[in-house]
Structure 1
């Protein structure tokens, strides 16, 4: 089928499904149980619902459902972090938010649970890009967004200090498990179907989902998944995790066995210490999921895809020029870029150890018309941000998973000609938050058509276990069918970046945080 045919059918089909949803009349009483929410974007919003409580470095416990009446109309504090300094932060951060067209227990809508990006160190779902009202209204789904513990508070590896810290390397992931258990037990009261729960997340949020797919405690808590520029091929090994804990102690000026003092230090000191150099990968101190052999008994996608999740329908996607979002084309790393220094500028940005002069020569031979800047962003994306998605999709295909769909997001930002299609740019199309602060999508016809296409695809997966684009071909080997999303258009291509994929497969990929 041609790209034009697919686009017409996809957009018209998605638009018809969205337009046929009379959700505005359903948002009436903003009360569920003891919670009083608010009306927002034509649906009911419940913000700042506690799903758990946790002492520092201990596993969280569920929050009892019964209790005094409570307003759920404002976002709760986010996890302590070096990012988002203008938002209230607190260790008491286990809260979620719900948007629903109708809090009728008999409604039985599909549920979409979102985990935020920011690796395992930063981020929040209070970002306006990920407010769930428009997705709930237009997609006719219940949307849940979750905050949880991050960085050292969620992943410092303290098990060498004793069995009471056995869960310490994966507390942030276990928070997500607890939130999904809350969804299972309570989302029906908000009009959701606990038997149709989709998890989706961008960047670090996608990585968290990939990790959940290998965690026994998460089995059965979600029924389909989508990762947007977010992969977790391997976890941190316990020995490397211990090196990072020791680096944290050194940055704090603690003695090697001062774990009790670590439990009582002001949280601001711990967050500041995360600026120490990571002893394994360089850069800031990384703390993420740990291969602890209990909560996480295997790597998520190494040496193969986790068998427990092969039957879970899954969308995997990346944007075409990921690195334009975090390597500023106007910044110092691109200043004075030319053919003579291009290889040296690429080298520190990639996670596959190849001869960069050879890499540049291959790009110039393949694309003689490209500028040094075009080669820089293509190479840094394909050698850093894209390989994890390829590995995950290929491993699912090799293991016989038949319900995998892959997209490549190519629509450039109409607001900034130097941005291209960069990391995070697919978020507002899925959430429908085109006009939110921070969105680079614009609100023109192309943006709205792309929104309908992406939102329809994701909401369709939540409702039926298949993307809401009937002609999106599943990903298999060797075809590697990929949905290429443009400016309000979509087409299916077989292995669309085959040349780059094969070039970077020449060397092994080193997962950041491994």
Structure 2
């Protein structure tokens, strides 16, 4: 519980530069004014940090609203609660459906007259897990090295963020995309407040890896988000296939049926335990779509719906540039991505690798290895088996689609460098390109 008191290529892509409205010095607990009230933070190694700042509030399945204002100074030294999860590694004690709506801000200056570039980091985990408090994505290092204002956000996930109940009445018209509307709300918060943190509201980059990259692409198709950001970076995250409205509505109705409810009973969902909702949702997905296959609309469970209102279309489909045609985009992936398993087999021989490849490529196995060797002369047998065959093709397809639709700057990267950690046993793994 918070206490109230009264008291780089990437960097080159982001860089831009003057006034803020501070209330602090480095030798004191820094205090900054937001539209909802004053907050205090901390200062360490030349970086100010403010964690768990409220940016919204919302009822279940409803669009986010402005947070309640407070009096005095709200201490923001700790990360706020995270969204409800469907994985066991977040204990119940850190999850809170009502209090998850928070942003974190790291900045080098709140009183020096600069207008720094702003980054909004969108965490990975598909659209169903994850949080802004992942140690891999603390903003202190990037704020220090790049002199940017780094912001991260918690938002609703899985069934609470993306269940379409629009067939149950106008009240639920936007329910299929409230998780994305949360992110839009955080962008609105940035526009209203970030100057007080030394940031430039006219130079905001949205960036995400994996599922976070999918969120970036989704935002680029949302009219309500237009003008709230100015650049975009997608890292290993183009594997997104939104539902269409017809299918998402059917899925929502199937969840109701699994819970013994009808559209007339929809408001009873407000009192149903979260885990019961999750079970009903998983059962509905399995019944409608079968096993979750890579690239399928239900690979990550509940996802945004192209409802023609909040989300106009499938990201990077024809006409995509009509929504964000002036947004520069950087997009890329890593060599090994989601397949690090074979890197544990340090003694794997070329013959053993060939034997396994033959099951997939048959008589074309030698040709595959020949072409692979041309692309990656220093390859290992592990590389042959673990090279990414999912994210890279989607990245290329997305980049090509973007190039056809927009004349805005487009940058593509491919990270094949292997970290030396653990004797380079993980290759160029999924997430290695996180800044």
Indicate whether the TM-score tops 0.5.
Answer: yes
Which residue in 1 is equivalent to 2:48?
A: 44
**In 2, Cα distance between equivalents of 1:397 and 1:244:** 34
Mapped contact 2:321–2:405 kept (Cα < 8 A):
no
1:230 positional shift: 1.1
Mapped contact 2:353–2:385 kept (Cα < 8 A):
no
Does residue 413 of structure 1 match 2:428? no
Greater RCO, 1 or 2 (C-alpha within 8 Å, sep 6+): 1
Does residue 241 of structure 1 match 2:255? no
1:53-452 equivalence runs, <5 A: 53-64=57-68, 67-83=71-87, 84-86=89-91, 88-92=94-98, 93-104=100-111, 106-231=113-238, 234-246=241-253, 248-249=255-256, 253-255=259-261, 257=263, 258-273=265-280, 275-276=282-283, 278=286, 279-280=288-289, 282-283=291-292, 286-325=301-340, 327=341, 329-330=343-344, 339=354, 342=357, 357=362, 360=365, 362-367=367-372, 373-378=382-387, 381-382=388-389, 384-416=390-422, 417-427=424-434, 430=435
Task: String of CA shifts for 1:55-97, please: whole Å, max 9, x gaps.
Answer: 0000110125553321001111101012332361111211100
1:307 positional shift: 2.1
CA 1:62–1:232 in 2, change beyond 3 Å: closer, same or farther? farther
Report how many residues are paired.
391
SS of aligned partner of 1:241: helix
CA 1:371–1:196 in 2, change beyond 3 Å: closer, same or farther? closer
SS of aligned partner of 2:384: helix
Mapped contact 1:105–1:192 kept (Cα < 8 A):
no
1:421 positional shift: 0.2
1:422 positional shift: 0.9
Mapped contact 1:26–1:102 kept (Cα < 8 A):
no
Mapped contact 1:53–1:63 kept (Cα < 8 A):
yes
Gaps of 5+ in 1: 1-9, 18-24, 347-355, 431-514
CA RMSD of aligned residues (A): 3.0
Name whichever of 236-245 and 36-45 sits farther off: 236-245
Task: String of CA shifts for 1:446-488, please: whole Å, max 9, x gaps.
Answer: xxxxxxxxxxxxxxxxxxxxxxxxxxxxxxxxxxxxxxxxxxx
Mapped contact 1:28–1:102 kept (Cα < 8 A):
no
**In 1, Cα distance between equivalents of 2:120 and 2:312:** 24
**In 1, Cα distance between equivalents of 2:201 and 2:229:** 9
SS of aligned partner of 2:48: strand
Task: String of CA shifts for 1:279-315, please: whole Å, max 9, x gaps.
Answer: 3362376111101111112222112533221211111
Mapped contact 2:127–2:300 kept (Cα < 8 A):
no
**In 2, Cα distance between equivalents of 1:269 and 1:212:** 30
CA 1:367–1:406 in 2, change beyond 3 Å: closer, same or farther? closer
1:275 positional shift: 4.7
Task: String of CA shifts for 1:430-461, please: whole Å, max 9, x gaps.
Answer: 1xxxxxxxxxxxxxxxxxxxxxxxxxxxxxxx
CA 1:69–1:362 in 2, change beyond 3 Å: closer, same or farther? same
CA 1:374–1:255 in 2, change beyond 3 Å: closer, same or farther? same
1:426 positional shift: 1.3
- Using the size of structure 1 for normalisation, the TM-score is 0.69
**In 1, Cα distance between equivalents of 2:106 and 2:356:** 50
Mapped contact 2:208–2:237 kept (Cα < 8 A):
yes
Mapped contact 1:317–1:406 kept (Cα < 8 A):
yes
Mapped contact 1:211–1:232 kept (Cα < 8 A):
no
SS of aligned partner of 1:408: strand
CA 1:304–1:26 in 2, change beyond 3 Å: closer, same or farther? farther
**In 2, Cα distance between equivalents of 1:185 and 1:208:** 22
Which residue in 2 is equivalent to 1:35?
A: 39
